[in-house]
Amino acid sequence: MMASLVQVDGLTKLFGGVRALDGLSFTVEAGEWIAIMGPSGSGKTTLINILGGLDTPTSGRAVVENVDVARLDEGGLTRYRADKVGFIFQQFHLVPYLTAVENVMLAQYFHSTTDEGEAREALKRVGLADRVEHLPSQLSGGEQQRVAVARALINHPKIILADEPTGNLDEENERIVIDLIRELHTAGHTILMVTHDASIAQLADRRIELAHGRLVQVTTFTAEDEERFDHLLEQIWICGEEGVPAQLERVRSRGVMDAMRMVGRLSDRGLVEVGDGVVALTPRGENRARDVIRRHRLAERLFTDTFAIVGSEADTHACKFEHIISPELEQKICTFLGHPGTCPHGNPIPAGTCCPRNGN
């Protein structure tokens, strides 16, 4: 199994008595766009700085592409920052006495060799073709940030680290910068972006919310994603019924997200655990899987017994129906059907709170 692109593991950072990060753990898959949210002082900037090799953790690890960033020496860090990551800060951090194109070329210099044509092309991409010879002081805030974006992109970094990239921008420039970030995401870059703006965070694949240096919430999945998660959890449940280990190769994902990325997300949410290429349900995952299986099999029973819909038709409908049955409806159906113990294929229907076999 390929490791996640970013693995944050028990990351802790103390500033004197202040715990900026407090045992933070999460993973990011290649190509994901993560929005990092949380109140001021919750550790967002500290996290970005450690991931970018600008700061070191007190304990725990930040592993990017299998490299523990804190273990790099000076030379390694310079290479890491030049090759792997592109920074976009709230303060644009442009060198004041260099022109726009020279600022971009500076990033090229640290990476390999300068190429003015390419640097000009990058500025053109961010809509600044006619500003290449301007000094930062001659540019508006939005334009300076676009130079910073061009600079972040020039070396085609795998990961873009953005700390409130639109924090100092007017609406128009915010839209331009966000559109650029969207393009980067579509092109396959991995993006970790700190933002306070819920509508911007909504664009990301996932939101990670910090409070006091800890993870309080991971959200933002579409209803479709949730259905795919359910589907995967069902498969793992069925493996359990059949007494076979749920090997990663065996679980299949529907839709665009591949099974491994889905499993990674389920694991982030504490629904599954992965070890030795086998996926296992956690108690929470088991509860959710049991509920989905129950709804699915009750639906099949209903379609078969009541509407004489049989075979794969019943299954197809059950796959859709299982996501729209509310707990009340589920209990009504179960009661109506006389609390059936098995689906039409003879597979067990887990007992619900309404079922006499559950002691009710």
Site for ligand ADP contains 43 (CB under 6 A): yes
Say whether residue 45 binds Mg ion (CB under 5 A). Answer: yes
Q: To the nearest whole angstrom, how small is the minimum distance from the Cβ of residue 162 to ligand ADP?
A: 12
Q: How far is 258 from 29, CA to CA, in rounded Å?
A: 11
Query: Residue 218 CB, nearest distance to ligand ADP (Å)?
Result: 17
Q: Taking CB within 5 to 8 Å according to partner kind, which of ligand ADP, Mg ion, none is near residue 46?
A: ligand ADP
40 in contact with ligand ADP (CB under 6 A): yes
Beta strands in 83-175 (DSSP E): 85-88, 159-163
CB of 37 to ligand ADP, least distance (A): 9
Helix (H) or strand (E) holding 240: helix 223-242
Among 5, 6, 20, 64, which residue sits at the site for ligand ADP (rule: CB under 6 A)?
20
Number of residues lying near ligand ADP (CB under 6 A):
11
Q: Does 18 bind ligand ADP (CB under 6 A)?
A: yes
Sole residue written with tokens 């805030």 = 141
Q: Is 41 in the site for ligand ADP (CB under 6 A)?
A: yes
How far is 235 from 266, CA to CA, in rounded Å? 13
CA distance 141 to 143: 5
**CA separation (Å) from 5 to 30, 70, 189, 264, 274?**
5, 16, 11, 11, 16
For Mg ion, the closer of residues 119 and 192 by Cβ is 192
Q: Is 45 in the site for ligand ADP (CB under 6 A)?
A: yes
Using rule CB under 6 A, residue 207 touches ligand ADP: no
Q: Which of 7, 24, 29, 46 binds ligand ADP (CB under 6 A)?
A: 46
Contact 57, 70 (CB under 8 A): yes
Structure tokens at 107: 């990033």
Say how many CA atoms lie within 13 Å of 155 toward its Cβ: 27
Contact between 195 and ligand ADP per CB under 6 A: no
Task: Write out the residues near ligand ADP by the rule CB under 6 A.
Answer: 15, 18, 20, 38, 40-46
